[in-house]
Amino acid sequence: MNRQIPFLRSPIVLAPIAGPGTPELTAAVADAGAFAFLASPYSAPDAIRRDVERIRELTDKPFGINLFVESELQQIEDDVLHQADARLDTYRDELGIAHHERPARPPAHYREQIEAVLEARPQAFSFTFGIPDAGTIAALKEAGIYTIGTATSVEEARALEEAGIDAVCAQGAEAGGHRGSFLNDGANVLIGTLALVPQVVDAVTIPVIAAGGIGDGRGVAAVLALGATAAQLGTAFLLAPEAGTSPAYRAALIRASARDTVITKAFSGKAARGIANRVTQELSDESLRAPYPYQNALTRDIRNAAAKQDRAEYLSLWAGQASALAREERAAQIVRRLLIEAREASVQAATALETIPITQG
Amino acid sequence: MNRQIPFLRSPIVLAPIAGPGTPELTAAVADAGAFAFLASPYSAPDAIRRDVERIRELTDKPFGINLFVESELQQIEDDVLHQADARLDTYRDELGIAHHERPARPPAHYREQIEAVLEARPQAFSFTFGIPDAGTIAALKEAGIYTIGTATSVEEARALEEAGIDAVCAQGAEAGGHRGSFLNDGANVLIGTLALVPQVVDAVTIPVIAAGGIGDGRGVAAVLALGATAAQLGTAFLLAPEAGTSPAYRAALIRASARDTVITKAFSGKAARGIANRVTQELSDESLRAPYPYQNALTRDIRNAAAKQDRAEYLSLWAGQASALAREERAAQIVRRLLIEAREASVQAATALETIPITQG
């Protein structure tokens, strides 16, 4: 079985990072010899077009675009939405921003986002929270776009292969940001990368990209030993100058230990890993939040204002469990370091194992 | 810094497996060239002596003993204990075993267990749930016994090194059985092995043994790439004929997928990972249980009866997230396969990385 991903020049992939991701970061990582995604789940179709144009001004290397797959929109009572929105007014008062007469609602532009991707023809399209419908998959393939779905369990990986997706990103519980889960609740099924990757490799025949908890080149070498074709890293790039990580977010990342992240639905209504703060603590109870994607729309003004005012306690501080390994280096230097470290780590493991006597069974 | 563990003949360690672990399994794994623990946390001092004698009848290879460190016993109100015990009477009725007029209480034999270990002089002593007091550590060293403490976070690893422990077992969230946590609640701080191991390796200078989610040789190669000196596996050996795994437990292991395990305090009051069943579901609420170690004493008769009656729904089905990779093979064959797979996996990773061009930074 062929587990090659034809356009990869190295086994390093920049994860789609909604929020701090920028066209500049995507272009810098692509230019340095890794494959890089741009996360566009919150972008209007026109913004996707502009971002793609910007990447292409900065690099001639291939790159990918990532979206959230739209699931059937859960209907929601007006008063549930009003109540969840009212719960956030304390934060708005503290940040000095306006209350809303009508709660913000999520935009309905998924089809137009897909159209923008089809027009842009990136090398790859990756997605989370589900599987696009058969027509969309056919249109992506028709446009020559390589498809990568996100799985947090063996069952999700199998579903992706059955739908004809080209490769699977196996996302372990260590990963920062949103969990891509779609058959299980991402807050309940939390399989670590070390356990998940080999089981996914055994369950499917398509290439597997490993994600979650890979903080440096040792992690890259480790997931290649597990059978992955490549390692996808997000948090490792958050301190690069090319990332749009806000100063408060950078400071929180530098301070955090591995035990400081939590799985939270406080910001979006969907499970995501980030550094614990006031919002993750205060909105941990389901009754205080609207479901996804409503909660995400409700908290947007707060997150935007908090970033501007440098207030980490209101920010979604997405980070994986290896965030302490992230370094303040230029993106190209991070890619270079990851490859050097990975090579050293893999040689070290191979050397340790080659001299062990293996007894007859 | 020297990360060698002098007595290891290969980078494979049989985890202490309280319950299904047997002197026969420990001896078979030791004989096959790996280092093997016997888990004795629930054993009376005389049982430890007998088990050690039995291992030494079966093999002349070194082995280790593992205990739970006794923490200060939380005082408990009689009616809390009676209430938690009464909650279990439904299960006793269904299993046809007697109710208790006085709830069973945990034995107070930790000092005698330590004495038995000191007398037995195993090559290594490993422990969880804390750090033995300075006098105990000094006595173990005096007896020439190598000490290994269990850490589930970077902070716990540092505390172990500061106490003068010889090596640390970095236990990721994927691990089956009890979490060794002692500075944090093991149910709340759940760091995956892939993220934990390199951060522990960076934080301490003593050797690091990686545990959690290592299901086959690919996992062994992966944790060596992360900087671990050895890989500790427990679940991978549960289907060996030398293990005391009950038929109902074996059947549950063979059926389980990675998403079927949960972190539960239902059986012992302390966080442990096992296959979800009726007891983990029904006793998930803290108010229905006594704290550790009381709950463990309360549920003992139920677990024993359930094992005899082949009733998996009442058993503590400890299993890690890589349980689906376990195979029904003799222990020696498992050790041999792990080494062959690990060697192949490490060469595969090194080969994939050696030809990648590294650009100038």
| Residue pair A10/B353 in contact by the 8 Å Cβ criterion | no
> How many other CB atoms are found less than 10 A from the CB of residue A53?
12
pLDDT tens digits along A129-168: 999 999 999 999 999 999 999 999 999 999 999 999 999 9
Tell me the per-residue pLDDT of B54-72, one tens digit each, with 9 for 90 and over.
999 999 999 999 999 997 7
Residue owning tokens 């070194």: B62
Do the beta carbons of residue A192 and residue A174 sit within 8 Å?
yes
Chain segment A313-324, per-residue pLDDT in tens? 999 999 999 999
Please give the full DSSP string across B51-112, using - where no structure is assigned. HHHHHHHH--S--EEEEEPPPPPPP--HHHHHHHHHHTHHHHHHHT----SS-------HHH
* Neighboring chain B residues of A340 at a CB cutoff of 8 Å: 358
Band (pLDDT 50/70/90 cuts) for residue B217 is very high
A165 touches chain B (CB under 8 A): no
Tokens 């050790």 label which residue?
A: B335
Interface test with A, best of B284, B353, B359 (most A CBs within 10 A): B353
What pLDDT sits at residue A353?
A: 96
pLDDT at B71 (0 to 100): 75
Other Cβ atoms closer than 10 A to A251: 14
CB interface of B with A, residues 140-159, below 8 Å: 153-155
Check whether B1 has a pLDDT greater than 70: no
Asked whether the predicted pLDDT for residue B226 surpasses 80, the reply is: yes
The answer to whether A353 contacts B346, with C-beta atoms less than 8 Å apart, is yes
The predicted pLDDT at position A1 comes to 65
- CB within 8 Å: A226 and B214: no
Q: State how far the Cα of B162 lies from the Cα of B137, in Å rounded to an integer.
A: 12
Contacting residues for B287 by C-beta, under 8 A, at least 6 apart: none
The DSSP 8-state label assigned to residue B318 in this structure reads B
Q: Is B194 on the interface with A (CB under 8 A)?
A: yes
Question: Which of A158, A353, A355 to probe the B interface (max B CBs under 10 A)?
Answer: A353
Residues 338-357 of B with CB under 8 A from A: 339-340, 342-343, 345-350, 352-354, 356-357
CA distance B281 to chain A (A): 13
Taking CA–CA distances from B198, the nearest residue in chain A reads: A218
Contacts of A220 in chain B (CB under 8 A): 353
Could you read off the pLDDT of A45-80 as tens digits, one per residue? 999 999 999 999 999 999 999 999 997 777 888 999
A105 and B CB contact within 8 Å: no
User: Of all residues in chain B, what percent carry a pLDDT higher than 70?
Assistant: 99
Claim: this prediction has a pTM higher than 0.95: yes
pLDDT-based confidence at B360, cuts 50/70/90? low
Mutate to test the interface with B, among A153, A194, A273 (most CBs of B within 10 A): A194
Helical pair B110-120 and B134-142, crossing angle rounded to 10 deg: 20
Nearest CA in chain B to A357: B10
- All residues of chain B having their beta carbon less than 8 Å from the beta carbon of residue A348 are 224-225
pLDDT for the residue A360: 65
Contact A198 B215 (CB under 8 A): yes
User: Which 81-100 residues of chain A touch chain B by CB within 8 A?
Assistant: none
Could you tell me which residues come within 8 angstroms of residue A165 by beta carbon, excluding any fewer than 6 positions away? Answer: A131, A137, A147, A148, A149, A206
Distance of CA B16 to the CA centre of its chain: 5
**How many CB atoms within 10 Å of residue B286?**
11
Q: Chains A, B: CB contacts under 8 A, how many?
A: 248
The answer to whether B177 contacts chain A (CB < 8 Å) is no
pLDDT digits (tens, 9 = 90+) for A161-170: 999 999 999 9
In this predicted structure, the answer to whether residue A361 has a pLDDT above a threshold of 80 is no
Cα torsion B41, B42, B48, B50: sign: negative
Q: Which residues of A touch B256 (CB under 8 A)?
A: none
- Strands B35-39 and B64-68: what pairing? parallel
List, in order, residues 6 or more apart from A289 with CB less than 8 Å away: A84, A87, A265, A266, A269, A283, A295
- Who among B257, B258, B348 is closest to A225 (CB)? B348
Note the ipTM here: 0.97
The whole-chain average pLDDT of chain A stands at: 96
CB-based contact A224 B348, cutoff 8 Å: yes
For residues A203 and A158, is the Cβ–Cβ distance under 8 A? yes
Query: Cα-flanking dihedrals φ and ψ of residue A326, to 5°?
Result: -70, 145
pLDDT digits (tens, 9 = 90+) for A252-310: 999 999 999 999 999 999 999 999 999 999 999 999 999 999 999 999 999 999 999 99
Least confident of A106-110, A260-264, B254-258: A106-110
On chain B, the residues whose CB falls within 8 A of the CB of A219 are 194-195, 198, 226
Which of B184, B212, B359 is facing A192, going by the closest CB pair?
B212
Phi, psi dihedrals of residue B259, rounded to the nearest 5°: -85, 0
